Every structure is written in C-alpha cells, then in structure tokens.
C-alpha cells in the first residue's frame, strides 16, 4: 500500500480514511474547518437508515451491508451510536414512492405491514390519519447519531496516527494525486480521494456539470408533554404528500424531534450561512401541520440549513479520476447511511484496478458488488 490524501472530513472522507488506514495505507486528511465541521453535510444530530427505497432495489440491497460496516466500526470504537426505530411511511395518493417501496421490499422478503389512516391515528395519537391513501410500517430501520459518529471516526483516526490537517484546497491535480491549498502548500500522494461534499464541484469542473450544491432546511422541535413519550418511542416518519412532503426523526438519545423537507432547492452556495430564515422554517412547518396534531403547541428550538451535493437521479458518484485519484460525490441527503460501507469499498477499490473500475456502477445502485469489493464484511451479508 502507499500514501493517500483525503480531501474532506465529512462522513465519506473520514470513513474512507479509516478504511484505508485499516488496510495499511499511510493516510492524511485535509479539511478546511474543524472536525466535526459545523458547516458539513454530515454534522447533525441524526441521519436515517432504512430499507425502504422506492423502486431503487440496488440501494435497498446495500442496507444490510451498510449495517455490517457500521457494526465493524462500532465494534472497533467500543460504542454503538444507533437507535432502532422502524419506519412509518404515509402517502396522500396511491402509487408513487410508497407503492414502489412496498413492492420492492416484499419482493426481497421484508416484512411490511399495511395500515389505514384510522389505524395510523390509533397507533400514533400524535398524528392525524386524515387524507392518508396508503401507509405501511417496516420494523427495520433507525437513527444513526451522526455527530457522534463523526466524532468517533475522528478519534479512530487519531488512534491510528492519521493526521487531519487544516487547509482550504483551491486546486486539485488528479493525474498526479495532488492538491494545492490556499496558502500555497502543495500536497501529493499515491492516491487522492476528493470527498469535499458541496464544495467538490468548485474544484472539479467536470463534476460541476453533473452535481449541484443545494440548500435544505430542517426544524428542531420539542413536543408538548402529552406527546413526548409517544414521540420518544416513535418510528421515523416519511410523509409523502404530493404537494410537499416531509420527514420526521423522533427525539432519540436526548436529541430533539426534527422535521425536514423531502424536496431539494434548485441551487445553493455552501459558503452561505447555516441559519434558516423564519420563512424557510415556516414552509417546513406548513407541510407538517396536516399530519402532526396540534403542531402549534410544539416549541420550535431551532431551524438550520444544510447543504448537500445532489446528482439529478440522486445516484452516488464514486469514480476514478485517472490513475491516482477518485471522487466521491452526489450523496444528497441519503448518503450518510452508507458512509462506513463506501469507505471500506473505496479502500478495496483503491488497491485493485478491476475493482476501481467496477465500484461506480455499484455505488450508483445499478449493479451488485463485484467479488472482493466488500471482502471486509461477513460473506453471508454480501452474497
């Protein structure tokens, strides 16, 4: 193995650095801010992991290996920052994402329980069943405690002697595995991995034609006393209203209840402030009022903006950039759940030319993993 530079200390960069160090590479990480980076897409209270993925069977089938990859990291770290919740999916019209998810899940043998609107309201009294055309509950799925996971990865790198250097990249040279920092420093290695989130398109013009930064808003809430216990035991909620759906993350492990928008803004600049405007927060709350009973009684704790790098079909872009570099991009809001898995796969692909060519189709959800790509995980999981 040789030397590697990882540009970006979000979930993808840190996971890849961890996996490369495990595999014997000499690794250094470059990050423009502190770690965890408060401006990073990865740094929030939580991220969701679930098998429900619409018609995207490739990503659905990546979930079990993703869990196995997290288990590997958590065992090494001696901590498991994950809370199982299950999934409640609702829709106000038949067909669409919910119907695709139900069919794809059942096709792979997952237990899906269909519910009526009345059954939803009876099971979850903090929700209204009005207007529900279809609903299902899935017992698997849960909440990854994102901020803590980023902290654990940084700690694992420190324990392995992997430095995280502060610096802003202004240019990358994939052909030479090199990058240049704003202070003029030039760094070069046998392998360069560009995992710079919504900043990556600025550094790679070809990527900018395929991936765009977007701004998404989340609102953190405190439920009223009468519903606090119910929410604490709640499944993650995916409300797929055609006129503006939202998701809700239950207040697990001392975190607040969080709701956010399923849609992506048309564009965004990751250098903009992370504070959300009152109008942006109100737009999210408006989407949720039809579903969360008495939402006016919930206390708004904060609202914030998060910037993602989004590919039009929300497929991950994990590709070679010549012989000495890879890019990891296009993770939208659903990439975090695969962080440890993609890091392990990248470490395998970096040391094997055939895997380096094959990783792209698998990461895009279009193909099964090629033999050897997930060799770090139990055979029964990856078969």
Q: Taking the CB of residue 258, how many other CB atoms lie within 10 A of it?
A: 21
In a domain? residue 79: no
Beta bridge partners of 7: 30, 194
Residue 77 lies in a domain: no
Whether 371 is covered by a domain: the verdict is yes
Which of 19-23, 33-37, 227-231 shows the lowest per-residue confidence on average (mean pLDDT)? 33-37
CA–CA gap between residue 309 and residue 246 (Å, rounded): 19
| CATH at 293 | 3.30.9.10
Q: Are residue 258 and residue 329 in the same domain, yes or no?
A: no
* pLDDT reading at 241 higher than 80: no
Q: Which tens digits make up the pLDDT trace of 364-379?
A: 999 999 999 999 999 7
pLDDT above 70 for 21:
yes
Q: Are residues 199 and 224 in the same domain?
A: no
Q: What is the pLDDT of residues 107-142, one digit of tens each?
A: 999 999 999 999 999 999 999 999 999 999 999 999
Do both 111 and 225 map to the same domain?
yes
Query: What number is the average pLDDT over the span 54-77?
Result: 97
Q: How many domains does the chain have?
A: 2
Please count the residues of the chain.
383
Q: Judge whether residue 266 has pLDDT over 70.
A: no
Is residue 299 domain-resident? Answer: yes
User: Which tokens is 263 given?
Assistant: 């849609």
Asked if residue 170 is part of any domain, the answer here is yes
Q: Considering the domain boundaries, does residue 76 fall inside one? A: no
Same domain, residue pair 295 and 218: yes
Do 323 and 365 belong together in one domain?
A: yes
Same domain, 123 and 216: yes
Residues 227 and 357 in one domain: no
Q: How far apart (Å, rounded) are the C-alpha atoms in residues 213 and 331?
A: 10
Among 288, 310, 332, which residue terminates a domain? Answer: 310
Same domain, 207 and 107: no
Predicted local distance difference test score (pLDDT) of residue 265: 64
C-alpha to C-alpha distance for 14 and 28, rounded to whole angstroms: 10
Using a pLDDT cut of 90, give the percent of the chain over it: 84
Domain match, 207 and 271 both = no
Q: Give the pLDDT score at 157.
A: 97
What is the rounded distance in angstroms from the CA atom of residue 149 to the CA atom of residue 12? Answer: 12
Whether 236 is in a domain gets the answer yes
Confidence of residue 270 (pLDDT cuts 50, 70, 90): confident
Kindly tell me if the per-residue pLDDT of 263 is higher than 80.
Answer: no
Q: Residue 93: which domain range?
A: 87-139+212-310
Select from 280, 310, 340 the last residue of a domain: 310
- Residues 6 or more apart whose Cβ sits within 8 Å of residue 305: 215, 216, 217, 268, 272, 273, 274, 275, 276, 280
Residues 163 and 288 both lie in one domain: no
- 139-187 tens-digit pLDDT: 999 999 999 999 999 999 999 999 999 999 999 999 999 999 999 999 9
| Same domain as 321, residue 183 | yes
Q: Is 40 exposed, middle or buried (0-12, 13-18, 19+ CB in 10 A)?
A: buried
Question: Could you tell me the pTM of the whole model?
Answer: 0.95
Identify which has the larger pLDDT, 241 or 138. Answer: 138
User: Using CB atoms within 10 A of its CB, is residue 307 exposed (0-12), middle (13-18) or buried (19+)?
Assistant: buried
Is 75 domain-assigned? no
Domain identity same for 95 and 24: no
CATH number for 320 = 3.50.50.60
Among 10-14, 143-147, 200-204, 239-243, where is mean pLDDT lowest? 239-243
| Residues 287-310, mean pLDDT to the nearest whole number | 93
Domain termination site, one of 246, 278, 310:
310
What is the predicted pLDDT for the residue at 323?
Answer: 87
Residue 91's nearest CA partner among 287, 289, 239 is 239
């Amino acid at each position: 193995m040789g030397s590697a530079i990882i540009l970006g200390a979000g979930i993808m960069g840190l996971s890849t650095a961890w996996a490369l160090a495990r595999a014997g590479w000499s690794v250094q990480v470059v990050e423009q801010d502190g770690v965890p980076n408060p401006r990073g897409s990865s740094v929030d209270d939580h991220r969701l992991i679930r098998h429900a993925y619409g018609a995207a069977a490739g990503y659905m089938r990546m979930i079990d290996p993703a869990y196995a990859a997290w288990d590997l990291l958590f065992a090494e770290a001696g901590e498991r920052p994950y809370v199982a919740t299950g999934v409640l999916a609702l829709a106000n019209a038949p067909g669409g994402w919910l119907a695709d998810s139900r069919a794809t899940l059942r096709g792979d043998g997952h237990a899906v329980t269909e519910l009526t609107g009345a059954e939803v309201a009876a099971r979850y009294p903090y929700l209204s069943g009005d207007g529900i055309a279809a609903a299902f509950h899935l017992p698997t799925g849960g909440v990854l405690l994102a901020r803590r996971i980023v902290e654990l990865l940084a700690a694992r790198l420190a324990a392995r002697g992997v430095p995280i250097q502060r610096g802003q990249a202004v240019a990358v040279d994939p052909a030479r595995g090199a990058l240049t920092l704003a202070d003029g420093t030039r760094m070069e290695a046998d392998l360069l991995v560009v995992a710079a989130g919504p900043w990556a398109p600025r550094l790679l013009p070809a990527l900018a034609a395929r991936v765009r930064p977007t701004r998404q808003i989340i609102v953190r809430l405190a439920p009223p006393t009468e519903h606090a216990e119910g929410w604490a035991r709640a499944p993650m909620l995916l409300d797929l209203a055609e006129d503006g759906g939202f998701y809700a993350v239950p207040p697990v492990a001392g975190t607040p209840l969080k709701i956010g928008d399923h849609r992506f803004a048309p564009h965004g600049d990751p250098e903009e402030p992370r504070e959300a405007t009152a109008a942006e927060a109100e737009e999210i709350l408006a989407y949720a009022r039809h579903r969360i009973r008495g939402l006016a009684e919930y206390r708004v704790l904060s609202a914030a903006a998060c910037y993602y790098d989004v590919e039009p079909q929300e497929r991950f872009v994990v590709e070679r950039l010549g012989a000495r570099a890879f890019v990891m991009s296009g993770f939208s809001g659903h990439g975090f759940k695969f962080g440890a898995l993609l890091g392990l796969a990248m470490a395998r692909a970096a040391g094997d030319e055939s895997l380096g060519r094959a990783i792209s189709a698998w990461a895009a959800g279009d193909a099964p993993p090629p033999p050897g790509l997930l060799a770090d995980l139990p055979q029964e999981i990856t078969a």
